[in-house]
Each structure stands twice: as C-alpha cells, then as structure tokens.
Amino acid sequence: QKAYEDLPYRNAQDYIPQRFHKWAYDLEKPTRTQMYELLRFVHKWLQPETNSPTKIVEMLVMDRFLRNLPAGLRQWVSLGDPTDPEEMMCLVERYGRPRYRKPALSRLAGIRGAWAAV
C-alpha cells in the first residue's frame, strides 16, 4: 500500500496525484484512518512546508489541466516535464508544430527533452 514511498522521488511525485484522483471512500475501513491517509499523501505531494500557497495552487491547476488534455497531447506535454504553468502552456502550444520550426520562445529550448520528443 505504501509502495509509492519506495519509488524514486519523481516517480513518487507522479504517483501521489494519481492516487488522490482515484481515491474512493471504503465502507470497510475506519473513516478516520481513510481521512488521515488521504491527508498524508496529499501533504507529501503538495509539500506545504516547502511550497508557497501560490506554488500549491499552480501544482493543482497544472495537474487538472494535464489530466484533461487529449491522451497524445498529455503524453507529449508530460515528456517535457513542465515545472510551471508557463512551460506547460508553451508545450501545449508547440504540440503538432512541424519538426523544422523552432519554438516561439527561446527559453523553451532548455525544457528537459521536450523538443527532442516533437
């Protein structure tokens, strides 16, 4: 059940939001146990002790935005590993551009592996 704790950091960070979205109340388990478990892994995901309220809001919005993209676009944007909403929007806007065209913003050239995945 706590397998995500054994995953490398980035994989664990990807798994926690997925677990949050798939969580469902279980009538067989104690209510308090479920609430504290949910709080624990959301706290681990959002890290309020190190992330500002603004960053937490960005993380939630980016997660929701990414989950609602069409599958191919979602996979392509994920490969770019955007760290803020601006990077995510630039990746979405670049999706489907012909390979020979350069990104509109020069700072996109440094996004981890995203251009190579085009």
Q: Is 42 helix (H, G, I), strand (E, B) or coil?
A: helix
Give the whole-angstrom CA distance, residue 10 versus residue 20. 16
Considering only CA atoms, which of 98, 56, 81 is closest in space to residue 90? Answer: 81
Residue type, 1: Q
- CA 83 to chain CA mean position, Å: 9
Residue 72: which pLDDT band, with cuts at 50, 70 and 90? very high
pLDDT of residue 75: 92
pLDDT of residue 68: 93
Please provide the average confidence, as pLDDT, over all residues in the chain.
79
Q: Which residue has the tokens 């798939």?
A: 22
**Number of residues that make up the chain:** 118
pTM given for the model? 0.66
Residue 112 region by backbone torsions, left for phi larger than 0, else alpha for psi between -120 and 50, else beta: beta
Q: Give the model confidence (pLDDT) of 11-22 as tens digits.
A: 555 667 888 888
